[in-house]
Amino acid sequence: MGDDLYALDFDGVLCDSCGESSLSAVKAAKARWPGLFDGVDPATEDWIVDQMHIVAEGLAIDGILENWSKIKPVILEEWGENREILVDLFGKVRDEWMDKDLGTWIAANRFYPGVPDALQLASSSIFVVTTKQSRFADALLQKLGGVTIPSEKIYGLGTGPKVEVLKQLQKRPEHQGLKLHFVEDRLATLKNVIKEPELDGWNLYLGDWGYNTKKEREEAASISRIEILQLSDFTKKLK
């Protein structure tokens, strides 16, 4: 084992779950507003999913991400919807899909190029730190990526905020003396780490292939603690 420890986010760093999320959203929309889908054939549904990756409410992806906190309440009010109800519905639909046909759910995700091989060949100590439920991250790693990471090294939903997980990892006796690295695709999460003096020993990376915007990457580049990481460099680092 090498002298480095990598704590890795899952969605947006290891796995591109955009396809699965979009399909789950369409399934939830069909359940919530069935009338909107009267006469909609499978080909049109596929087109809807494709468009969800590109544009919504007339805004490009960067515009949606940068202004989502302002856009969301306006859309909810216009549609007369309750956020909590929609969140519950989305989770229920996703859970039902996984329970009924885990294989197609897994197939709707994909790992970023080179990531499974890099994880398998890594000489560093690897931990996954994600807001996804651990069992689903584990299923994707094994069944889609062919990668086995011990369950005790996967910190998923319910294990606490990521900053607290990082604190736990750095305190372990067996991790003393290791170089600590945290790779994330959300700038806000990295900024939360920077706010914690206790975590000053972590090297922080923003994956430019993940779910972030050009504006966020530009901001990250101006923060001395954060290194912008490209996918090819990331897979080399793990090896």
For residue range 193-225, what is the model confidence (pLDDT) as tens digits?
999 999 999 999 999 998 888 889 999 999 999
Residue 147 and residue 63 share a domain: no
Residue 131 and residue 87 share a domain: no
Residue 211 and residue 136 share a domain: yes
Nearest to 19 by CA among 50, 40, 54: 50
Residue 135 and residue 41 share a domain: no
Round the CA-based radius of gyration of the chain to a whole number and report it.
19
Residue 168 and residue 50 share a domain: no
Interacting residues of 5 by C-beta distance below 8 A, sequence separation 6+: 124, 125, 127, 169, 175, 178, 179, 180, 181
Mean pLDDT computed over 83-105: 90
Q: Which of 107, 124, 151 is at the close of a domain?
A: 107
Residue 152 and residue 92 share a domain: no
Task: Write the CATH number for 121.
Answer: 3.40.50.1000
Residue 199 and residue 126 share a domain: yes
Residue 156 and residue 213 share a domain: yes
Higher pLDDT, 1 or 74: 74
Residue 101 and residue 132 share a domain: no
Q: Which of 78, 107, 136 is at the close of a domain?
A: 107
Residue 102 and residue 48 share a domain: yes
pTM of the model: 0.84
Quote the percentage of the chain above a pLDDT of 70.
95
Structure tokens at 150: 């011990």
pLDDT at position 47 over 90: no
As for how many domains the chain has, the answer is 2
Cβ proximity of 234 and 183 under 8 Å: yes
| Helix (H) or strand (E) run with residue 155 in it | strand 154-155
Cβ proximity of 212 and 13 under 8 Å: no
Q: Which of 107, 138, 164 is at the close of a domain?
A: 107
Q: What's the pLDDT tens digit per position in 139-192?
A: 999 999 999 999 999 999 889 999 999 999 999 999 999 999 999 999 999 999
Residue 160 and residue 57 share a domain: no
Can you tell me the distance from the alpha carbon of 105 to that of 97, in angstroms, rounded to the nearest whole number? 7
The domain in which residue 131 lies consists of 4-16+110-238
Residue 215 and residue 142 share a domain: yes
